[in-house]
Amino acid sequence: MNSERNLFVSLACVLLGFGVLMVYSASITSKPTEFEQIYLSRHLIHLVVGVLAGGLCSFVPSQFWRRAAPWFFVGTLGFVVLVLVPGVGTRVNGAQRWLRFGPLQMQPSELAKITLPMLLGAMAVKRRTSLHRWFAGTIPFVLPIAVVMPLVLKQPDLGTAVFLAMSSGMLLFLAGWPIRNFALGLVPAAGVALTLKPYQWQRITDFMATWTDIERASYHVKQSLLSMGSGGLMGVGLGKGWQKLSFLPEANTDFVIAVVGEELGLVGSLGLILLWAGFFITGLELFRKHDRRSFEFLVGVTLLSQMVLQAAINVAVVTSMLPTKGISHPLISYGGSNLVINLVAIGIVVSLSKSQSIVEDTASPGTLVEHRHAPHITQSASRQSVV
């Protein structure tokens, strides 16, 4: 298990190193200035903060996360409300999503990507016997989602709201939530779709137009596809891309993968995808022997999966397989809150994987041994373990 954990952390470090390289390259402008060094230095500051925070989280016992999950969620909810208060939250490009503390700023909705799954995981373990009941197994789980999502939509941040709904659904599915509840969830989803603003509908129509008439596609998509297409198989060379020189918007954040495609080509892009695949598979291996209904498994796999899912969505947006949305690439894009939160999530995944609540073959072939922190072993598994 230690070797798998070391490999998992090593792959995360490789992704972080690749991200530092691409942030510096993508920050270069048509007129060389000190801005690329400024972007790099800020990125490195957040990287150091994130590594320290993630490292600290990796040593915290899993029982702490389970007990503190409700309090963390309440704190996150307070920050999300605070960011909407006029004069407190910082508004950028029409969106009020940030809290500023001197030179530092934080996006509270990013915290919800950790605290909401943790709360739902703790509730799923505590209410395991009532998961299939209509009232007791539905309302308590829907309530925290229904509280936080409208606040995030108010900012407005549709992408994060949808992402929170997806990660919550992923955890509840792993916990064994009835399929009927997911079907009922389509009703509020349709309601949100009906309240989309004109510019959000415009993104959807632009996305659909990309595959029929490229001239009707959005400027972001055109420049992104042009960047990736000009890279060819091997790319034009690291730091030698042209599109980032004031042509490709958000080159060092949301569209950094387009810079990867131009400078490192198809080989570099596929190499990055393989890195993520190795990161995901190795992370899943950390929980292979955990009880599938334990807090550690539910939260650990959800945090891991949502990070990889965010990377996949970002690639899909850049390659015009999904409508344009401001979703950064984890560990690779320039960022503050997103980078720190993802590193904290990695630290929590490592912490949860160290838990003793696993069912492990240590006695003899075909024998399952229950450790002292294991929450339960199903009757069917117990019968199969008889030698």
Q: For residue range 315-362, what is the model confidence (pLDDT) as tens digits?
A: 998 888 888 777 889 999 887 788 999 999 999 999 999 876 544 443
pTM recorded for the entire structure: 0.85
- Provide the pLDDT for residue 56: 95
- Rounded to whole angstroms, the Cα distance separating 223 from 229 reads 10
Q: Where are the domains of the chain?
A: 37-222+287-355, 358-387
Q: What is the DSSP letter of 360?
A: E
User: DSSP of 108-127, one letter per residue?
Assistant: HHHHHHHHHHHHHHHHHHHT
Contacts of 65 (CB under 8 A, 6+ apart): 118, 295, 299, 348, 351, 352
Pairing label, strands 104-106, 95-101: antiparallel
In 3D space, the residue among 250, 257, 253, 255 whose CA is nearest the CA of residue 271 turns out to be 257
Question: Which region among 77-86, 135-144, 239-248, 292-301 has the lowest average model confidence (pLDDT)?
Answer: 239-248
302 vs 4, higher pLDDT: 302
pLDDT digits (tens, 9 = 90+) for 252-272: 888 889 999 999 999 999 999
Sign of the CA dihedral with 4 first, then 267, 23, and 329 last: negative
241 near 227, Cβ under 8 Å?
A: yes
Cβ–Cβ contacts within 10 Å for residue 316, how many?
14
Residue of 381 and 278 predicted with greater confidence: 278
Lowest-pLDDT range, 7-16, 92-101, 123-132, 221-230? 92-101
- Look up tokens 């993802």; give the residue: 342
Assigned token pair, 167: 């990660």
47: CB partners within 8 A, 6+ apart: 16, 20, 339, 343
The Cα–Cα gap between 236 and 265 comes to 7
Q: Is 269 exposed, middle or buried (0-12, 13-18, 19+ CB in 10 A)?
A: buried
Q: What is the mean pLDDT of the chain?
A: 82
Would you state the pLDDT for residue 96?
77
pLDDT of residue 194: 64
Beta bridge partners of 89: 99
**Could you give the CA distance from residue 261 to residue 267 in angstroms, rounded to a whole number?**
8
In the chain, the largest separation of any two C-alpha atoms, in whole Å, equals 73
**Long-range interactions of 147-152: CB distance < 8 A, separation 24+:** 147/77, 148/76, 148/77, 148/80, 148/112, 148/116, 151/77, 151/80, 151/81, 151/84, 152/80, 152/109, 152/112
Within a 10 A sphere around the Cβ of 306, how many other Cβ atoms?
Answer: 23
Highest mean pLDDT among 23-27, 148-152, 298-302, 372-376: 298-302
Whether 227 contacts 284, CB under 8 Å: no
